[in-house]
Amino acid sequence: MLSPLKSICLAASIVTFVGLSSGAVAQNPVIELTVAERGKITIELFKKDAPKTVAHMLDLFKKKFYDGILIHRVDAGFVVQAGDPQTKTKGISGPEIGTGGSGKNIPFETNDKTHEEGTMAMALSGPRSATGDSQWFINLSPNHMLDGDYCVFGKVTKGMDVVKKIAKGDKIVSMKLSKASKSK
């Protein structure tokens, strides 16, 4: 028979072993995007697959960077794009719209995620370039011609019907961290 102390140590060892052998479950951040007069969209971010991109985006969410930004691009059957802060003051019509950002470019990241309907990816000035900043897009259909050239860092988990109703000029009310999702 084991002493109480040895029993506690054995139990702790078993719990540790089970936790390690089952593979630690990572927490993926989940954000809530609210678009005026359209509704809410829930997006899971792929922290493991695009760590620098997700960290940068989380920093922007915390600063409320996206609050008030307008959706400046909607290509039916292709993408919905936003993230240019110039739209807050200049609207969506000027020739410079689509060129603005937060002022902090991030390195290009690649992963095995593909551009399926509902995936969120970093907009870039050119494929595979370190020009990602605050602009992102959500795929409205599978866009496999973009695979490997634009980093997929998230996926809509709820509200794809809302995404499909978004129109050019719609306003982002908020884009904020909602919670974390358990994902292997």
Instruction: Tell me what pLDDT residue 10 has.
Output: 42
Residue 77: count of CB within 10 angstroms of its CB? 10
What is the full per-residue pLDDT of the chain (184 aa) written as tens digits?
555 444 444 444 444 444 444 445 568 999 999 999 999 999 999 999 999 999 999 999 999 999 999 999 999 999 999 999 999 999 999 899 999 999 999 999 999 999 999 999 999 999 999 999 999 999 999 999 999 999 999 999 999 999 999 999 999 999 999 876 655 4
Architecture of domain 26-183: Beta Barrel (2.40)
Domain residues of the chain, as ranges? 26-183
pLDDT at position 180 is 65
Q: What are phi and psi of 44, to 5 degrees?
A: -90, 130
Tell me the C-alpha distance between 123 and 143, whole Å: 14
Give the whole-angstrom CA distance, residue 174 versus residue 127.
28
DSSP state of 83: -
Which of these, 82, 130, 139, 141, lies nearest to 108 by C-alpha position? Answer: 130
Report helix, strand or coil for 2: coil
Residue 179 confidence (pLDDT): 73
**Residue 15 CB coordination number (10 Å):** 10
Q: What is the pLDDT of residue 103?
A: 97
Return the pLDDT at 76: 96
Cα separation, 130 vs 88, whole angstroms: 25
